[in-house]
């Protein structure tokens, strides 16, 4: 998918909501466990109930790897379902990969070609030649961790270097890499004070923002400095939507939670 | 496996060789491609030919994920084979994972419990709560990226902070985390000038050292400051061993290359 189509979808749906598909078999309704592929069945119902309210879905790969081959099959079925039934949806493999060049190429092929995700999250610690193999894919997006939402996020990202903090160096340096027009960045909703600086460094890139809801981030705070002329935000909610109910009405309740967020987003966009 | 058993194995074999199982179907003998599980068959022959010369095997997970469900099945068969036939071998999932706490726990369970690896490589960028879930597993080892062997390795790891470089902060900070006795570190063989400083910060931890051979690192340089009283090194070679021949004699040639390195290691250990 190209960036323009993503922007068009956001404007049409009046939503920049991304839904995290982090499926935990201990948290889904028990009747699903009797089915052949409970993870996929859960995802399918969540997607069918919310696809008109969200512009992106983000399976966190850890939750699939945790179930071995069955988990991998569920991931494959989920991305195939999204690509076939809802081709307008932007898909994110939340994999946080990154390795030396020839190995990153392998990961890029696995997620961009074989699974056919639109994007993947990548960790920056190993530098240029660990990220550029992902950037080489056109109309695919590399979403680089910049400033993460978790407690330990500032342990190294917040270190002061000679001229700026490490996460600022990551942003600036990455924008100098080949094919940096294919970059997006992960910035946690729990760091609202940093969005102004981040938008000064990266005014044009989409930001994938996890951390609203369960982790304590707030949509208004994120939008204050995060929005740009392309809207430029994908705000993720996982647990707050997909586990809104543990009962048989989980998809219906997920829809209600997604609608709440979409309505809040619509309101924010109308004030721009 | 506990640390003492690893040290005993190293002393017995007079080897601290780790063999990287980075299987590429384009590089293995064509007759294997006709078999049910060519990746596993390749690994099995390499392992059978070299297990007396190496103390550790390290599949890079990217090479398995690149083949989707079949790759995952090959990984499962490979680790099962190692654990059943050669239980003295130390196994490393080269996965470079790391995510927010509950997600890292998922990755840890996938690799430590379901697949039953002895260790996993982890990226430090997300800080304490992304790594501590791995460290919580006793007799399992978390091998944290400190200073990597690739060209871009210094892009961020080499940044000067107020008191030291980023990779030094990673070493020092990680050693303050809970269960840090379960830590090892990745340090590239292409950075011999850094080993003295690293051993001052982390005198007791095992170092996993990639980058000899194809990447240009040298065993003598690594050992000069890298060895400690427990030996404390696992030096990895992947392509230099497993692709020593592309013909039907690949396992025999791999054994020859492994023997060369083991003999060099034996000589170095005899001079300690």
Catalytic residues of A: 96
Q: Do B149 and A100 touch (CB under 8 A)?
A: yes
Give residues 98 to 157 of A whose Cβ lies within 8 Å of B: 98-101, 103-104, 106-107, 109-110, 114-115, 123-131, 145, 148-157
Q: Do A126 and B98 touch (CB under 8 A)?
A: no
A65 touches chain B (CB under 8 A): yes
- How do residues B199-238 score in pLDDT, each as one tens digit? 999 999 999 999 897 788 899 999 999 999 999 999 999 9
- How do residues B75-115 score in pLDDT, each as one tens digit? 999 999 999 999 999 999 999 999 998 899 999 999 999 99
- How do residues A61-108 score in pLDDT, each as one tens digit? 999 999 989 999 999 999 999 999 999 999 999 999 999 988 999 999
A214 touches chain B (CB under 8 A): no
Q: Give the per-residue pLDDT at A14.
A: 98
Separation between Cα atoms, residue A44 and residue A23, nearest integer Å? 12
Q: Give the per-residue pLDDT at B178.
A: 96
Q: Do B96 and A101 touch (CB under 8 A)?
A: no
Which residues of chain A have a CB within 8 Å of the CB of B124?
A: 125, 155-156
Q: Give the per-residue pLDDT at B38.
A: 97
- Mean pLDDT computed over every residue of chain B: 95
Per DSSP, the three-state class of B12 is helix
Per DSSP, the three-state class of A232 is coil
The CA-based diameter of chain B, rounded to the nearest angstrom, is 57
- How do residues A4-34 score in pLDDT, each as one tens digit? 999 999 999 999 999 999 999 999 999 999 9
DSSP single-letter state for residue A207: E
Q: Give the per-residue pLDDT at A214.
A: 74
Q: Give the per-residue pLDDT at A217.
A: 87
Q: What is the mean pLDDT of the segment spanning A233-246? A: 96
Shortest Cα distance, chain A CAs vs residue B191, angstroms: 14
Q: Give the per-residue pLDDT at B101.
A: 87
- How do residues B108-164 score in pLDDT, each as one tens digit? 999 999 999 999 999 999 999 999 999 999 999 999 999 999 999 999 999 999 889
Q: Give the per-residue pLDDT at A101.
A: 87
Q: What is the mean pLDDT of the segment spanning A138-145? A: 97
**B126: Cβ–Cβ under 8 A, 6 or more apart, which residues?**
A96, A123, A145, A148, A150, A152, A153, A157, B98, B99, B100
Q: Give the per-residue pLDDT at B214.
A: 74
Domains, chain B, in order of start with CATH, read 3-270 (3.20.20.70)
Q: Do A76 and B63 touch (CB under 8 A)?
A: no
Q: Do B127 and A154 touch (CB under 8 A)?
A: yes
C-alpha torsion sign, points A147, A152, A154, A160: negative
Structure tokens at B259: 């023997």
Give residues 159 to 188 of A whose Cβ lies within 8 Å of B: 159-162, 166, 169-170, 173
**pLDDT exceeds cutoff 90 at A162:** no
Which backbone phi and psi does A83 adopt, to 5 degrees? -65, -35
**pLDDT exceeds cutoff 80 at B193:** yes
Q: Do A65 and B130 touch (CB under 8 A)?
A: no
Q: Testing the interface with B: which of A96, A157, A208 to mutate, by most B Cβ within 10 A?
A: A96
Q: Is B98 left (phi over 0), alpha (psi -120 to 50) or beta?
A: left
Shortest Cα distance, chain A CAs vs residue B262, angstroms: 25
Q: Give the per-residue pLDDT at B216.
A: 83
Rounded (5°) CA angle A183-A189-A190? 130
Q: Give the per-residue pLDDT at B74.
A: 97
Number of cross-chain residue pairs from A and B with Cβ atoms under 8 Å apart:
179
């Amino acid at each position: 998918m190209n960036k323009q189509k993503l922007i068009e979808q956001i404007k049409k749906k009046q939503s920049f909501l991304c839904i995290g598909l982090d499926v935990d078999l201990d948290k889904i309704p028990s009747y699903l466990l009797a089915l052949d592929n409970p993870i996929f069945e859960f995802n399918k119902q969540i997607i069918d109930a919310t696809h008109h309210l969200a512009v992106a879905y983000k399976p966190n790969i850890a939750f699939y790897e945790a179930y071995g081959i069955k988990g991998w099959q569920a991931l494959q079925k989920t991305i195939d379902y999204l690509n076939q039934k809802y081709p307008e949806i932007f898909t994110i493999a939340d994999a946080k990969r990154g390795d030396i060049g020839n190995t990153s190429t392998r990961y890029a092929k696995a997620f961009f070609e074989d699974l056919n995700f639109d994007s993947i999250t990548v960790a920056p610690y190993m530098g240029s030649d660990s990220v550029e193999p992902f950037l080489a894919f056109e109309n695919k997006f590399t979403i680089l961790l910049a400033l993460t939402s978790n407690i330990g996020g500032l342990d190294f990202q917040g270190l002061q270097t000679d001229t700026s903090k490490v996460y600022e160096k990551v942003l600036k340096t990455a924008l100098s890499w080949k094919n940096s027009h294919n970059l997006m960045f992960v910035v946690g909703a729990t760091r609202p004070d940093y969005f102004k600086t981040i938008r000064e460094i990266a005014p044009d890139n989409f930001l994938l923002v996890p951390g609203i809801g369960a982790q304590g981030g707030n949509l208004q705070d994120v939008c204050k400095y995060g929005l740009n002329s392309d809207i430029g935000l994908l705000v993720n909610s996982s647990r707050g939507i997909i586990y809104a109910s543990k009962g048989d009405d989980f998809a219906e309740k997920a829809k209600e939670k997604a609608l709440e967020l979409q309505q809040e987003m619509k309101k924010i966009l109308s004030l721009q």
